[in-house]
Each structure stands twice: as C-alpha cells, then as structure tokens.
Structure 1
Amino acid sequence: MFLHPLKSSAGFTYLAALMIVIIMGIMLGVAGQSWKMIMDREREAELLWVGTQYREAMLHWRNFRHGEGAMPLGDIKHLAQDPRSLQNVKHLRKLYPDPITGKEWKIIKDPQKGILGIASSSDKEPIKQANFPADYTQFEGKKKYSEWEFRWDVIPPKKAATTTISGLQTSTSPVKTSPGP
C-alpha cells in the first residue's frame, strides 16, 4: 500500500505548532515578570517623590504664620486648602493617593503636634534597600513600605561635604580653632 507524503507529516505540523505556542508562552511569562518589576520600581520612585511632597507641605504648614502662631495640622486635607487663611493657600497642589496601594495613606499623629507624617499602608517588601537620598537614609534595611515614614519632625542631619584638592582637604562644615596662648 502506498502512503501519501502529506498524510504522514500531519502529526509533525501539529507538534511544531504546539512547540511554538509553548515557547511563546514562556517568553511572554518572562516579559511579564520584567514588566512587573519595572512597574514596581516606578511606583517605589513615585512613593519617594509623593512622600517628599507631603513632608515639605507639612513643613510649610508648620512654618506658615497666621498671627496666632503655629496651629497643629489636624486633617491631611488641610494641606490642599488651608482653613486658617482667608486667602486660597495651598501647601500641597493636590492630595495624592498612596502609589503602592492606590488607597489612602496611613496617618502618623501626635496628640499635641497633630499630624506628624504619612506612611504607605502596604506590607509589601521594598525593592530599594540602600543608596537612598540623604533625607531618607533611615529607610535602609526596612522590610515593609509601611515602615517608610515621611515625617516633618524627623529630618536627618546632612553629612558635611569634604573634598580633596591636590592633597589639601577642604570641608563645608565649620572649623573649630583652639584659642591662642
């Protein structure tokens, strides 16, 4: 009996198509993981930026004088519209949601000082663990985004910058001299 050559290769075409689908699935899975990592890094960078905006707005609220002295910040919404002023004073352009969760922030309060800061409500582990800007070195080694607290009352001191020029060391910090004899 004579076999037709096209009928004998039908199974091979099916296997080749199946292998192509499997390879494409694996490649899409790898690309999806890379895309997720990129998006997580962007959300983390946005968290640092938005947290800085809130911290600076709280500092501005604290330092903005209205005659009766500094009134504690009682509601985070007051950063977008200051009720202490008859003018349209905005310490923050708009109220930003938490970039990690997309929800409201965890508010850090003190009974006497009012709102001290904000933190993400996410329990996810941060991608960035080191090499933070000078204002956020306290974030190094934190295990959750909720431990990243953007507070107006905690600003770490900046390190004095030193440079070496032709063997001479210079510094921007004040130099103490001992009194003469």
Structure 2
Amino acid sequence: MSRGERARRRAGGFTYVGLLALVVLIGLMLAAAGEVAATAAQRERETQLLWVGHEYRVAIGRYWRQKRVYPQTLEELLGAAPDAPVQVRYLRRLYPDPMTNAVDWVLVPAPNGGIMGVTSSSKRAPLKTGHFDEGDQDFANASAYSDWQFTFL
C-alpha cells in the first residue's frame, strides 16, 4: 500500500466525521426553528382566544342589557326566538375555542341562573402573563388558559 492510499483512507474517515457533525448541527438548527414556530403559533392562538372571548363577553352583555336576564345557552346569542317580530343577533356564530379547535367552552354560571361568561377548557400554561387590555387584567399571571374567564358582570 502506498503512502497516498493510506493518506486517502485517513482523510476519508475525517470527511465522514465532518459530515456527521454537519448533520447533527443541521438537526439542532431545525429543532430550534421548530420551537420558535410552535411558540409563534401558540401566541397567535392566544390572540385569537382573547378576541373570541371578548366577542362572547360583549354578546352576553348586549343580551343582558336588552332582556335583563342572562342567556341559558350559547345558542340564544345567535338570535331571538323564531316567532319574535325582530331577529336580534348578539353573536354571528358560535366561535370555537382557539386552544382546542372545538366549541367546547366551559360555561361560567350566573348567580341567578344562565350563562355570564365562557372560559377555555385548555389547561396549558399561557405565554402572555401581563399587559392585558382593560377588562382582562385579572388574566395576569394565570396558570392556565382555563383561568381566563370572559364574563359580563
């Protein structure tokens, strides 16, 4: 075996180790990018949850102001009874919970019956822990999304 062949064999092993290190580095970079994307997606769902929860709060408030009672079901927010002379829609549609992608809201009961609000059924810890809008300051430092109660008092 000549000197050139031995040197080439040693260099071939070095190239393999270098390529393996490159593959590991690319894998770590992809994992970090996936983590960033997952966090961004959760922040987007949080923003949607705050918007949808606000819509339910406003709809329940409008319902209460007009009828002086809380709705018994979320479906009542979609419109008046079919025999009513004027259809009033307090909510366009039943929005799903962005954290679960289902209309599986936990209903917050009113003291005298009916529904005074909704909350998510998700037990995940929120990313947002401060700087909430007026009316949502109680959400600060909540341990789970289910602690964010969108209620009309």
Which bin holds the TM-score, normalised by the shorter protein? 0.7 to 0.9
Distance in 2 separating the partners of 1:13 and 1:20: 10
Paired residue for 2:59? 57
Gap regions ≥5 residues in structure 1: 154-181
Structure with the higher helix share, 1 or 2: 2
- Which of 25, 28, 36 is the aligned partner of 1:26? 28
Q: Answer yes or no: is 1:125 the counterpart of 2:151.
A: no
Describe the superposition over 1:141-170 as per-residue Cα deviations: whole angstroms up to 9, x where unpaired.
2211111100111xxxxxxxxxxxxxxxxx
Describe the superposition over 1:2-52 as per-residue Cα deviations: whole angstroms up to 9, x where unpaired.
142544432222222211110000000111111111111111111111000
Write the mapping of 1:60-99 to structure 2, written as runs, cut at 5 A. Answer: 60-64=62-66, 69-83=67-81, 85-99=84-98
Does the Cα contact within 8 Å between 2:70 and 2:116 map onto a contact in 1?
A: no
TM-score scaled to structure 1, two decimals? Answer: 0.74
Shift of 1:88: 3.7
Distance in 2 separating the partners of 1:39 and 1:13: 39
* SS, match of residue 135 in structure 2: helix
| Range that drifts further, 99-108 or 21-30 | 99-108
Write the mapping of 1:1-181 to structure 2, written as runs, cut at 5 A. Answer: 1-2=1-2, 3-4=4-5, 6-64=8-66, 69-83=67-81, 85-103=84-102, 104-110=104-110, 112-153=112-153
- Relative contact order, higher structure (CA 8 A, sep 6+): 2
Paired residue for 1:178? none
Aligned-residue RMSD, C-alpha: 1.9
State the identity as a percent.
34
Describe the superposition over 1:36-75 as per-residue Cα deviations: whole angstroms up to 9, x where unpaired.
11111111111111000000011111123xxxx5343111
Describe the superposition over 1:113-168 as per-residue Cα deviations: whole angstroms up to 9, x where unpaired.
41110001111111111111111111112211111100111xxxxxxxxxxxxxxx
For these two proteins, the number of residue pairs brought into alignment is: 149
Distance in 2 separating the partners of 1:139 and 1:150: 10
* SS, match of residue 134 in structure 1: coil
Q: Which has the larger radius of gyration?
A: 1
Distance in 1 separating the partners of 2:115 and 2:46: 23
Aligned residue type for 1:30: A
Gap regions ≥5 residues in structure 2: none
Distance in 1 separating the partners of 2:111 and 2:131: 34
Shift of 1:86: 4.2
* SS, match of residue 118 in structure 1: strand
